[in-house]
Amino acid sequence: MKSQNVLISILLASAGIPAAFAEPAVKAPSAAALNRTVSVTLPDSEHVFPPGAGAEIANSQCMICHSAGMVTRQPPLRFGEWKAEINKMRTAYGAPMPAEQVDELATYLTVIKGKQ
């Protein structure tokens, strides 16, 4: 019972009026309900980057936070734009990719998804 209800009950009781708002009893969930298990099937993440020089960097660095499709479904970019995109992942989102791999990965992404 909330403290203001207790206070009102006391006031009503002292005036000889029964409190009309007794709170409903909260039913505790049964042990069976608390211990139930659920089974979920997560989608397969078998989609990796297409083979090619630099694919291992993409597979190991770019699927930490999202799918390969998040990258391969984007519109094609130029080398410099891919570099900027990779660096955005590193600086804005905290991708742990070493700086010295940026050029190799940008070259790979330009090969698989590049624009002249």
d(Cα 108, Cα 13) in Å, to the nearest integer? 80
Size of the site for ligand HEC (CB under 6 A): 17
Per-position DSSP letters for 1-40, written without gaps between them: --HHHHHHHHHHHHTT---S-PPPPPPPPPHHHHT-----
The distance of closest approach from Cβ of residue 63 to ligand HEC in the complex, given in angstroms and rounded to an integer, is: 8
99, 87 Cβ separation under 8 angstroms: no
CA 115 to chain centre: 31
* Nearest residue (CB) to ligand HEC, 8 versus 85: 85
* Nearest residue (CB) to ligand HEC, 47 versus 88: 88
Residues with Cβ < 8 Å from 102, sequence gap 6 or more? 83, 86, 87, 90
x/- map, 6-45, ligand HEC, by CB under 6 A: ----------------------------------------
Task: Name the segment binding ligand HEC (CB under 6 A); options: 2-10, 23-31, 47-55, 56-64.
Answer: 56-64
- Which residues of this protein are in contact with ligand HEC, per CB under 6 A? 61-62, 64-66, 70-71, 74, 85-86, 88-89, 93-95, 97, 105
